[in-house]
Structure 1
Amino acid sequence: MIEQVTIDARYKGPPNSGNGGYSCGVMARHLDGIVEASLRLPPPLDTPLEIVATDEGVVMQHGETLVGIAKPATLDLDVPVLPDPLVLGGDPVDAPGRPKKFTPFGTCFVCGHDRTHPDGLCIHSKLVEGHEGLVASQWGLDGDYADESGNVAPEFIWSALDCPGYFACAAGEAALLGRLTAEVLAPLKAEGEATVIAWDLGGTGRKRKCGTAIYASDGTLVAKAEGLWIIVDPEKIKA
């Protein structure tokens, strides 16, 4: 076993389970380079979990129950240039053509409107005017997210790469993150602001794909990811 971890209730996504990006990041921080992290079931909160090394990477498990897997991967993803000026518009959930079947979780660590900064990341994605399919948000950084070097810790980078993708590809639908493949390209100081963008990559059936990226205030591309979201029964993930 590499370490025992507990996903504190602070880091919830749905009301009763860990935020997908944060949970994937807890696994991915033990690997270098591009990492593919998948969740096999909603990560339980306030529960001791084990991170265990395998021949392929690491797994997160609760006793004999597999929660998630992380392993080295490749990532072929073209990231849109950050619009200049970046003009934010309306809520993606309210956009024309969206199904409006589901209201995102207000208490989510990343995107919840019931959270306050810095307790939550407060990344509230909006439509980008003049760029169809693109959403973006300013992300206020804080020392609370820092690692020992003063940079944003990996699990919070992964968190920020999570929810914006939902608003790009599945807004208005009940969906959970199934897989996130991410590459961290540069350190991000835990101060000032960053910009998080996300864009729709299409999907079929119950699957939705998206791209997400984080830009530092000076325009440096910090991280990018491809996410896979799975449409689920909203009754299974309500409070």
Structure 2
Amino acid sequence: MIDRIATRTTELLGRLTIDSRFNGPPASANGGYACGRIAAFVDGPSRVTLRKPPPLETELSVHRDDDGIMRVVADGVVYAEACSIDPGILIAPARPTMAEAEAARNRHPGNGIRHLLSDCFVCGPERSNGLHVSPGILDGHDDVTASPFVPDATVGDADGVVPSEIVWAALDCSSYPAVALQSGPICLLGRLSVVQRRPIHVGDQLVAVGWTLAVSGRKYRTAAALVDPDGVTVAQSEAVWIALTGDAS
């Protein structure tokens, strides 16, 4: 198990700290947001693997090792690894309208109850300063989820462009396994890759669609896409989710 950095030649690429606003579970960062921050150090499309829950308000160092892998470290502990990828093309199994996505979000099983991810920056239903991407099962599609994604000015830059880490965050919770969403168990993100095809701006009316690719034991391999009103995919992701054991409610 890789959890401490071994003796090897490394190049320091930079440092990052994740603000407490961008939490997933209460004491750690939203996995997709963290992956997006890390991916900024990779040239081109990338995949980020989380080795431990990414901490909040903690300085993380990003190193490139002599094996070509980037590792994200604090106090000798490896929190994540990242590498470049050659992405494939994903086709969403459904292209819901905004009204259909809103209806699905209203069916999100976490609405009105407290649970581990109630205050997640992305999917927390009661999170006033979050993204409100709370996916629910799409009507007529038991294994497809959907939610609106309409980024507001609090997540845009001075030109109204939504940073890539926010796009990664939206695609994270959008890819949550549909079967786990319906009946449990709670899952946490293990790996995420994202391809963004065009800039996303504040106020864009997008629909987030998620679906499952494969299941193996506690691992769920899933995909998600952000689709514009013309049905064009503007960003896509593949993810691996790990089901928690025991009671994590």
What is the TM-score when the length of structure 2 is the normalising length? Answer: 0.82
1:222 is matched by which residue type in structure 2? Answer: V
Cα gap change, 1:83 to 1:222, in 2 (>3 Å): same
CA distance in 2, matches of 1:33, 1:234: 38
What is the DSSP-based 3-state SS (H/G/I as helix, E as strand, rest coil) of the residue aligned with 2:215? Answer: coil
- The alignment of Structure 1 onto Structure 2 pairs a total of residues equal to 228
Cα shift at 1:195? 1.1
Please list every run of 5 or more consecutive structure 1 residues that lacks an aligned counterpart in the other structure: 95-101
Partner residue of 1:63?
A: 75
- Conserved in 2, the CA contact under 8 Å of 1:52 and 1:60? yes
Q: Residue 83 of structure 1 corresponds to which residue in structure 2?
A: 96
Deviates more, 1:54-63 or 1:15-24: 54-63
Match of 1:219 in 2: 231
Could you list the runs of 5+ residues in structure 2 that have no partner in the other structure? 1-11
> CA 1:147–1:58 in 2, change beyond 3 Å: closer, same or farther?
farther
State the SS of the aligned residue for 2:16.
Answer: strand
Match of 2:192, SS state, is strand
CA RMSD across the alignment:
2.3
Task: Give SS of 2:132's match.
Answer: coil
1:135 correspondence with 2:145:
yes
Task: Say which SS state the counterpart of residue 154 (structure 2) adopts.
Answer: helix
1:202 match: 214
- How far has the Cα of 1:234 moved from its partner? 4.8
2:45 aligned partner: 34
Deviates more, 1:15-24 or 1:44-53: 44-53
Give the AA of the match of 1:83: P
Q: Which secondary structure does the structure 2 equivalent of 1:162 belong to?
A: helix
CA distance in 2, matches of 1:167, 1:93: 13
User: What percent identity do the matched residue pairs reach?
Assistant: 32
Structure 2 counterpart of 1:145: 155
Displacement of 1:4 after TM fit?
A: 1.9
The 1:173/1:77 distance shift into structure 2, 3 A limit, reads farther
Query: Is this contact kept in 1: 2:177–2:222, CA < 8 A?
Result: no
What's the secondary structure of 1:10's corresponding residue? Answer: helix
Amino acid in the other structure paired with 1:32:
D
Q: Which amino acid aligns with 2:96?
A: P
